[in-house]
Amino acid sequence: MSANQPPPLVDYNLFESDPPLREALEREGASWAHDLVHDLGSLAGTQQAIDWGFQANANPPRLRTHNRFGDRIDEVEFHPAWDELMKVAIGHGLHALPWREPRAGAHAARAAAFYIWSQVEGGHGCPVSMTYAAVPTLRAEPALAAEWEPLATTLDYDPGLRPPKSKAGVLFGMAMTERQGGSDVRANTTRAVPAGSDGAYLLTGQKWFCSAPMCDAFLVLAQAPGGLSCFLLSRVLPDGTRNAFHIQRLKDKLGNRSNASSEIELDNAWAVMVGEEGKGVRTIIEMVNHTRLDCVIGSASLMRQAVAQATHHTAHRSAFGRLLSEQPLMVNVLADLAVESEATTILMMRLAGAFDRARDPAESHFRRIGVAIGKYWTCKRAIAVVAEALECHGGNGYVEESILPRLYREAPLNSIWEGSGNVNALDVLRAMQREPETIVAYLAEVELARGFDSRLDHAIDVLKVSLANPDELESRARRLVEQMAVVLEGSLLLRHGDPAVAKIFCSSRVAGERGQAFGTLEPGADLKSVIARHRPRL
The DSSP-derived string for 425-481 is HHHHHHHHHH-HHHHHHHHHHHGGGTTT-HHHHHHHHHHHHHHH--TTTTTTHHHHH
The domain limits of the chain are: 19-278, 282-534
Residue 472 has pLDDT above 60, yes or no: yes
Q: Under a CB-based contact definition with an 8 Å cutoff, are residues 7 and 538 in contact?
A: yes
Query: What average pLDDT does the segment 37-51 reach?
Result: 98
Indicate the DSSP class of residue 375.
H
With CA atoms as reference, report the closest residue to 322 among 332, 314, 310. Answer: 314
- Rounded Cα distance between 538 and 493, Å, is 27
End-to-end Cα distance, the chain = 16
- Rounded Cα distance between 309 and 319, Å, is 18
Name residue 267's beta-bridge partners.
204
Proportion of the chain above pLDDT 70, given as a percent: 100
Distance of CA 183 to CAs 178, 250, 424, Å? 8, 20, 11
- The model's confidence at residue 19, banded by pLDDT at 50, 70 and 90, is very high
Residue 127 has pLDDT above 60, yes or no: yes
Three-state secondary structure call for residue 240? coil
Answer with the residue of higher pLDDT: 188 or 133: 133
Residue 445 has pLDDT above 80, yes or no: yes
Query: What average pLDDT does the segment 70-76 reach?
Result: 95
pLDDT, position 3: 85
Query: What average pLDDT does the segment 279-302 reach?
Result: 96
Residue 263 has pLDDT above 70, yes or no: yes
**Dihedral of CA 242/243/249/250: which sign?**
negative
**How many CB atoms are located within 10 Å of the residue 474 CB?**
10
Query: What average pLDDT does the segment 341-358 reach?
Result: 98
pLDDT, position 269: 98
Residue 466 has pLDDT above 70, yes or no: yes
In this predicted model, what pLDDT tens digit does every residue of 197-215 receive, in sequence order? 778 999 999 999 998 999 9
With CA atoms as reference, report the closest residue to 489 among 471, 474, 509. Answer: 509
pLDDT, position 104: 96
- The model's confidence at residue 538, banded by pLDDT at 50, 70 and 90, is confident
With CA atoms as reference, report the closest residue to 519 among 386, 377, 388. Answer: 388
With CA atoms as reference, report the closest residue to 11 among 37, 51, 42. Answer: 42
Residue 2 has pLDDT above 70, yes or no: no
**pTM of the predicted protein model:** 0.97
The CATH number of 282-534 is 1.20.140.10
Distance of CA 301 to CAs 15, 116, 495, 524, Å? 12, 7, 22, 27
Residue 461 has pLDDT above 60, yes or no: yes
pLDDT, position 167: 98
Q: Under a CB-based contact definition with an 8 Å cutoff, are residues 189 and 223 in contact?
A: yes
Proportion of the chain above pLDDT 90, given as a percent: 95
Residue 1 has pLDDT above 90, yes or no: no
Write the class of the CATH domain 19-278: mainly beta
Q: Under a CB-based contact definition with an 8 Å cutoff, are residues 213 and 174 in contact?
A: no
Task: Look at strands 318-319 and 72-77 and give their pairing.
Answer: unpaired
- The model's confidence at residue 64, banded by pLDDT at 50, 70 and 90, is very high
pLDDT, position 196: 80
Q: Under a CB-based contact definition with an 8 Å cutoff, are residues 256 and 414 in contact?
A: no
Residue 253 has pLDDT above 90, yes or no: yes
Same fold: 19-278 with 282-534: no
pLDDT, position 187: 85
Query: What average pLDDT does the segment 272-281 reach?
Result: 96
- Rounded Cα distance between 155 and 95, Å, is 9
Answer with the residue of higher pLDDT: 180 or 213: 213
- The model's confidence at residue 236, banded by pLDDT at 50, 70 and 90, is very high
- The model's confidence at residue 488, banded by pLDDT at 50, 70 and 90, is very high
Distance of CA 370 to CAs 42, 248, 362, 464, 487, Å? 31, 37, 12, 16, 12
Supply the mean pLDDT for the chain.
Answer: 96
**Residue 374, H or E segment:** helix 361-392
For helices 328-356 and 19-27, angle between their N-to-C axes, nearest 10 degrees: 20
With CA atoms as reference, report the closest residue to 366 among 379, 376, 352, 378. Answer: 352
- Rounded Cα distance between 176 and 283, Å, is 12
With CA atoms as reference, report the closest residue to 290 among 417, 395, 394. Answer: 417
490: burial class by Cβ within 10 Å (0-12, 13-18, 19+)?
Answer: buried
